Amino acid sequence: MWKQCWKPLGLACLLLAVGCSQSLSHKVEISPEQVQSSLAASFPYSTDDIPGFESPIKATLSDPVALLEPGKNQLGVRMKITLIPPQELPNPPRRVRLPGGGPELPAAGLLGEGQPREGTVTVYGDLRYEPATGELFYKNATITDLQLADLPVEHTRPAREVVEKLVARYLDQTPIYTIDAKQFSGNLTKALLQSVTVENGKLYVELGL
């Protein structure tokens, strides 16, 4: 008799445990428009916005485009990049040092003919979640493509070093998206990021307690 009673009781406990585990996680759906709007709010962003950042080349990021590639499960962003060489700035120096270190270089012709250069930079990366604010930040972001129009090969290194430093600082300090309390049924300040997926052109962030 006891065995017969324990069977339904055990099944009920199992169903209750499964139900509780499912209720402890929730997928937040973020549309491309929401990601795009959130990204655009923090642009333009330039080397002038970074306190104490010394660079012989002024670089500015603008016009972000969110990239949600199915199956990649990472957030991508393509940005316009504008580079202004030192000789185009007020009181241009004769010699400069790149952010990555190394010997001083002649400022003249640092970007070829010394003209401003425009192009695009594309970044893909994972996301991290900040419970205190409900914000999503980039993590392990990588520049997957850098295109600068008509830039001579010998001037690629100076340009890339400045772009890498600027992009890294931007992604480290700027939230990509802030989850609203209405999008999550639990307590955002206690939630943990469980997974990030891209499906049907939308970003899904799974949070659990």
Q: Is residue 13 part of a domain?
A: no
Please indicate, yes or no, if residue 154 is contained in any of the structural domains. yes
> How much is the pLDDT for 75?
93
168 is a domain residue: yes
pLDDT in tens, 16-54: 444 444 446 788 899 999 999 999 999 999 988 888 877
- Kindly state whether residue 25 falls inside one of the protein's structural domains: no
Q: Determine, yes or no, domain membership for 150.
A: yes
Range of the domain at 71: 32-179
* Cα–Cα distances in angstroms (integers) from residue 84 to residues 64, 119, 152, 162, 208, in the given order: 19, 12, 15, 11, 45
In a domain, 194, yes or no: no
CATH code, domain with 153: 3.15.10.40
Three-point CA angle 49, 51, 55, nearest 5°? 80
- Residue 188 falls within a domain, yes or no? no
In a domain, 10, yes or no: no
Query: Does the pLDDT at position 185 exceed 50?
Result: yes
Q: Are the beta carbons of 35 and 68 closer than 8 angstroms?
A: yes
Structural domains counted in the chain? 1
Give this prediction's pTM.
0.75
Please report the pLDDT score of residue 125 as a whole number. 93
Read off the tokens for 125.
């990366």
